[in-house]
Amino acid sequence: MIKVGILGATGYVGIELVRILSQHPQVKIVSVVSQSFVGQNISDIYPNLRGIVDQKCEELDVEKIANRCDVVFTALPHGASKTVIPQFVQHGVKVIDLSGDFRYNDVSIYEKWYGTKHDNPELLDISVYGLPELHRDEIAKAHLIGNPGCYTTCSILALVPLIANKLIDTRHIIIDAKSGVSGAGRGLSLDTHFCECTENIKAYKVATHRHTSEIEQELSLVAGEEIILSFTPHLIPMKRGILSTAYADLKQKYTAGELLKIYEEYYKGEFFIRIYDEGKLPETNHVSGSNFVDIGLVVDERLNRVVVVSALDNLIKGAAGQAVQNMNIMFELDEKTGLVASGLYL
């Protein structure tokens, strides 16, 4: 059995990790850490876990946790992970970090977009960007994973086949993405109060959202050249889900059917990516509660432009589910283990 610790277990991503891993046949959860609820049963904080996970929340004691765990998931705020992860790495514990702290190949990019100095840039040399569809072989050998963001996973996977096959002009890519409110986390803020969100939709951090840099990093690696794109996120009045719509100019004429065949070939064998038939497009209720990414597309013949629509659950394939998928790869398990579930739909 893989002995697992979860730091930040009572946030929205952390509790999804607890829920998923509690059903994983090869995992034993030995430590749940929450500084805000030390000594309380996690099932008292989240009653849906009663009778399934009734462990007490612990305070953070790196040495104690490291001696009990094979792998630690760190679902901590950006910046907090940098102070904890080096200690786990020194103890030889594998780490899957769900913050943005170890997703970057270039420390200057991180520092520019996050507005803070990185305390452990040397660890960026050993960390692997945890997107299995692009980095599966590296993930298998890694001891430190920077688990991707939700917007980034949805957007990158929507565009990779076009870029890998050099089908689009990479100078004018536009991504318009929408997220449910859980993407902001469990912390209280005016922007996520019910009365501020319901019956409302808004763009935010236009041209400045941090996930832009992640998307550009990964797409640039696929393209073999620097890609700079326009990314605009929106907050919509629902709990969970990401819908991304990406626009790109085609280099020559293609039909939707021809492009869909290219997508199907590129993602052949990828269980968690579902390509839609021509004339159909993804919706968030098709993926909510699952680890799937659904992708469909349309060709705007008037403009010779492809419009790619992708959807995922921001808390699962966009966070906790993808982290478990990475863990499965790291420990040589079938990467679907514990993750084969359909979307909830309702």
What pLDDT does residue 346 have?
82
Distance of alpha carbon 165 from the chain centroid: 24
Confidence of residue 220 (pLDDT cuts 50, 70, 90): very high
What pLDDT does residue 109 have?
96
CATH number, domain 2-126: 3.40.50.720
- What number is the average pLDDT over the span 161-175? 97
Q: Please tell us whether the domain made up of 151-314 is placed in CATH 3.40.50.720.
A: no
Backbone φ, ψ for residue 189 (5° rounding): -155, 155
Confidence of residue 332 (pLDDT cuts 50, 70, 90): very high
Where is average pLDDT lowest: 67-81, 93-107, 285-299? 67-81
> Residue 186: is its pLDDT beyond 80?
no
SS3 144: strand
The one-letter amino acid code at 266 reads Y
> Residue 153: is its pLDDT beyond 90?
yes
What pLDDT does residue 121 have?
92
Residues ≥6 apart with Cβ < 8 Å to 106: 124, 217
What pLDDT does residue 74 have?
96
What pLDDT does residue 198 have?
87
DSSP string, 292-312: -EEEEEEEETTTTEEEEEEEE
Token code pair at residue 120:
């452990």
CA 22/CA 49 separation, integer angstroms: 9
- What number is the average pLDDT over the span 113-124? 92
What pLDDT does residue 193 have?
81
Average pLDDT, the chain: 95
Share of the chain above pLDDT 70, in %: 100
Instruction: For 95-114, write each residue's pLDDT tens digit.
Output: 999 999 999 999 999 999 99
> Residue 79: is its pLDDT beyond 90?
no
Residues ≥6 apart with Cβ < 8 Å to 107: 118, 121, 124
> Residue 185: is its pLDDT beyond 80?
no
> Residue 81: is its pLDDT beyond 80?
no
Backbone φ, ψ for residue 146 (5° rounding): -95, 100
End-to-end CA distance of the chain: 34
What pLDDT does residue 182 have?
82
> Residue 181: is its pLDDT beyond 80?
yes
> Residue 256: is its pLDDT beyond 80?
yes
Confidence of residue 183 (pLDDT cuts 50, 70, 90): confident
CA 243/CA 87 separation, integer angstroms: 37
Instruction: For 301-323, write each residue's pLDDT tens digit.
Output: 999 999 999 999 999 999 999 99
> Residue 194: is its pLDDT beyond 90?
no
What pLDDT does residue 88 have?
96
What pLDDT does residue 112 have?
95
Helix axes 256-266, 150-164, angle to 10 degrees: 110
Token code pair at residue 14:
């952390």
What pLDDT does residue 71 have?
98
What pLDDT does residue 211 have?
96
Confidence of residue 300 (pLDDT cuts 50, 70, 90): very high
Q: Which part of the chain has CATH 3.30.360.10?
A: 151-314
What pLDDT does residue 195 have?
86
> Residue 187: is its pLDDT beyond 90?
no
Q: Which entry of 150, 154, 195, 197 is annotated as an active-site residue?
A: 150
SS3 162: helix
Question: CB neighbours (10 Å) of residue 186?
Answer: 14
Distances 57 to 90, 107, 283, 335 between C-alpha atoms, Å? 24, 33, 36, 28
Q: How many helices (H) and strands (E) does the chain have?
A: 11, 13
- What number is the average pLDDT over the span 66-91? 90
Active site residue 150: yes
Q: Which part of the chain has CATH 3.40.50.720?
A: 2-126
